Amino acid sequence: MTASTLFLCLFCQVLVVAGNILLKHAMAGIDGQQRSRLQTGLWLFAGIALLTLWFFLWLGLLSKYELSQLYAFEGLSPVFLMASAWLVLGEKVPLRGWIGVSLIGAGLMLVAGV
């Protein structure tokens, strides 16, 4: 795996994490009426745009590289997402949540055959 592939795999992670953070931000305020429909729509659109970009980048990577190599990175995304949601959105996660997501990350890597 070359440095550019590694970069693309990590960029995929950034897209998934940022896209879902944007979706959560859009949906969390939807019933509170703290912002207009237009603003909610724009946050949703931004999230969908990032996830669409992720989808095509991921398809491109899948067509070029071994599935098991790529799936190793899938184990990282739940951990990155929980940490980002804590940092960016201020989501409170109990200790059991952190232990749980670490086990999920390790488990997904074992399933991928790392």
Binding site for another protein (CB under 8 A): 20-21, 23-24, 27-28, 30-31, 44, 71, 74, 77-78, 81-86, 89, 91-94, 96-97, 99-113
CB of 6 to another protein, least distance (A): 21
Nearer to another protein, 53 or 112 (CB): 112
Q: Nearest-CA neighbor of 75 among 101, 97, 44?
A: 101
Nearer to another protein, 4 or 103 (CB): 103
The owner of tokens 């944007």 is 22
> In whole angstroms, what is the distance from residue 53 CA to residue 15 CA?
8
Helices (H), 29-75: 37-64, 67-74
